[in-house]
Structure 1
Amino acid sequence: MSSTPPETDGAANSGTRPDEPRSLCIEDWLTVIIMAALALITFANVLVRYFTNSSFAWTEEISVFLMILLALVAGSAAVARNLHIRIEFFADSGSITRRRKLARFGSLMMALLFALIAVLSVRVVYDDFRYEETSPGIGVPQWWYSIWLPIVSALITLRALGLFIRQGKPGAFTDEPVQKDHSKEIA
């Protein structure tokens, strides 16, 4: 019987992983705040609907916005933690050099994709502002919602670039052999 613990993806581990950036508390706290806001809005709507047989008109619009924002913020945390979606058969097979190149290529493509989304979505925000678009449910300016897409996409781009840099460092992969420093063995 082996005494080594089974491998996990880090999701059950409450501590930080060694390759994880320390600044992830931003995404973690945003996730908590957004989830709490969603729960409060939904609970308030349920209470109002139960007692008055009508509901708040604004809750669905705000909830949809918060769910989209939650997906983007959680995506940023997943990228930073290197827990994004990938095909494990290709990502974890082959030599360490091959895996490193594939992982870095994936990180670079992810950074490119979200940088492109950030740049292109600025035009959407500008059009919403320029044409004074309003939201369909409660009539607030639409750019209040759309401004978050380029901001969070830029954050994901930075997280992907950070992951790209970390993946290039020695010891980035758990089964990578660590090179010994032979300069101290002269004695």
Structure 2
Amino acid sequence: MYKNLTIICEKILQYTIIILLSGMVIVVFFNVIGRYFLNAAIAWSEEVSRFMLIWLVFLGAILAYINDEHLGLDIVVKSIPKKAAKVIAVIADLLVLYAITIILKGGYSITMESWDWTSPAAAIPYAYVYLIVPISGAILFLQTILKIIYHIKALFMREASDKVQGKEGVSC
């Protein structure tokens, strides 16, 4: 279940990032062409490309989280017993869940407060820009729940099989 949901989420995110990056490249390219060859810049292009970049960063952060590619210090985790490392993984996941909850609440608040505030050149409500915070927060929340379930299952499933087989150590 964890892998299926993760794969589906990952594919949707990848295609969304491809579309956003392509759109950003097209907008910036046409603005450069217009500015240098036609002496007419597209007024909203800088804002829209910046908004797309913001969405790209948040969506990329989700992909990095799903694939465990965020920067982390694993020196301590590698130097302790495997069972303790698994317990630390669950605790770390719970702390991440708490942080994501704070981000989710703050993102929702700022999105709701900014529907009437529009960007100067593109006249896009800033709520559409900030909407990525609660969206990414919700996806990260779901992914963290799935990781917690996965880590708890790994902790207890392996522990049970070790007792049956008479092993003392627990491996990942």
- What residue is the counterpart of 1:87 in the other structure? 73
Matched-pair contact (CA < 8 Å) for 1:31–1:70: yes
- Separation in structure 1 between the aligned mates of residue 139 and residue 37 of structure 2, nearest angstrom: 42
- Separation in structure 2 between the aligned mates of residue 91 and residue 31 of structure 1, nearest angstrom: 33
Distance 1:57 1:94, change over 3 A: same
Q: Provide the TM-score with structure 2 as the length reference.
A: 0.79
Following TM superposition, by how much is the alpha carbon of 1:25 offset from its aligned partner in structure 2, in angstroms?
Answer: 0.8
Matched-pair contact (CA < 8 Å) for 2:58–2:132: no
Following TM superposition, by how much is the alpha carbon of 1:86 offset from its aligned partner in structure 2, in angstroms?
Answer: 0.9
- Separation in structure 1 between the aligned mates of residue 21 and residue 100 of structure 2, nearest angstrom: 24
Match of 1:168 among 137, 152, 160: 152
- Separation in structure 1 between the aligned mates of residue 52 and residue 139 of structure 2, nearest angstrom: 17
Say which structure is richer in helix.
Answer: 2
Runs of 4+ in 1 over 3 A off after TM superposition: 176-182
- Separation in structure 2 between the aligned mates of residue 46 and residue 91 of structure 1, nearest angstrom: 49
| CA-to-aligned-CA distance 1:100-147 (integer Å, 9 cap, x gap) | 122222222222212211112222122112xx2111332222222222
Matched-pair contact (CA < 8 Å) for 1:112–1:157: no
Following TM superposition, by how much is the alpha carbon of 1:51 offset from its aligned partner in structure 2, in angstroms?
Answer: 0.9
Following TM superposition, by how much is the alpha carbon of 1:153 offset from its aligned partner in structure 2, in angstroms?
Answer: 1.2
Following TM superposition, by how much is the alpha carbon of 1:177 offset from its aligned partner in structure 2, in angstroms?
Answer: 9.3
Distance 1:31 1:147, change over 3 A: same
Q: Provide the TM-score with structure 1 as the length reference.
A: 0.74
Matched-pair contact (CA < 8 Å) for 2:6–2:143: no
1:2-81 equivalence runs, <5 A = 21-23=6-8, 24-81=10-67
Can you give the 5+ residue segments of structure 2 that lack an aligned partner in the other structure? 166-172
Measured on the aligned residues, the alpha-carbon RMSD in Å equals 2.7
- What residue is the counterpart of 1:104 in the other structure? 90
- Separation in structure 1 between the aligned mates of residue 39 and residue 159 of structure 2, nearest angstrom: 65
